[in-house]
Structure 1
Amino acid sequence: MAERKDKRKVIGEPMTDEQIKLFLDLPPEEGENADFHVLIRAYRALRVEDFERFLAFFIEQDGDLRARDDKGRTLIEVMRGHGKNDDYIAVLEQAGG
């Protein structure tokens, strides 16, 4: 079956460093770990290649790749509960998460 032209996935333009760095400043909810908050927001919003670039900026700012959520889980533990994200897990592990 041929893919309909109007149903193709549109990715858009590559993100600039400045756009990716905006994720570093996302304020957490009260009581939420700030590092975990920006990590999970970036994971949910960025393509894997942009997430990898984000992690480099995050580490430059001394971000904690092993920050925990309110349930005591690290981002990699949360990611392992999701499907089809092996690329994200590999990038995070390579960064030291």
Structure 2
Amino acid sequence: MAERKDKKKVIGEPMTDEQIKVFLDVPSEEGVSSDFHTLEKAYRALRAEDFGRFIGFFKAQGRDLNARDPEGRTLLAHIADHKKCEEYADLLREAGGTA
């Protein structure tokens, strides 16, 4: 079915704060820092603008933006070679994330 030219394609509705905060409670996998796991799950699931809001909630809880995975990498280092991650990487850097 062809898209009508008078209709704008909607990628997704803006998420509410409550929908974003759900990612703060993601249980971690055994052997993985809960803060790293939470950050990674949010990175993989949220659009950049929502991820930026998530980071604010994450930091407000006093959580570690530079938590490391089992290989010793922060999320910023982990995503460095991902295509189209620059906006996410910028958000992490602005919030105090390091590689």
Q: Answer yes or no: same fold by TM over 0.5.
A: yes
Q: Distance in 1 between matches of 2:9 and 2:80?
A: 25
Corresponding residue number in structure 1 for 2:36: 36
Larger CA deviation: 79-88 vs 67-76: 79-88
Identity level (%): 58
Superimposed CA distance per residue, residues 39-80 of structure 1 (whole angstroms, 9 cap, x where no aligned partner): 000000000000000000000001101000011110000110
User: Following superposition of structure 1 onto structure 2, how do residues 68-87 of structure 1 map, counting pairs within 5 Å?
Assistant: 68-87=68-87
Amino acid at match of 1:83: K
Alpha-carbon distance in structure 1 between the residues aligned to 2:9 and 2:48: 16
**Structure 1 consecutive aligned stretches of length 4 or more whose deviation exceeds 2 Å:** none
Secondary structure of the structure 2 residue equivalent to 1:5 = coil
TM-score normalised by L of structure 1: 0.89
What's the RMSD between the two structures over aligned residues?
A: 1.6
TM normalised by structure 2 equals 0.87
Aligned residues: 93
Residue in 1 aligned with 2:65?
A: 65
Q: Secondary structure at 1:66's aligned position in 2?
A: coil
Instruction: Find the counterpart in structure 1 of residue 18 from structure 2.
Output: 18
Query: Structure 2 regions of 5+ residues with no counterpart?
Result: none
Can you give the 5+ residue segments of structure 1 that lack an aligned partner in the other structure? Answer: none
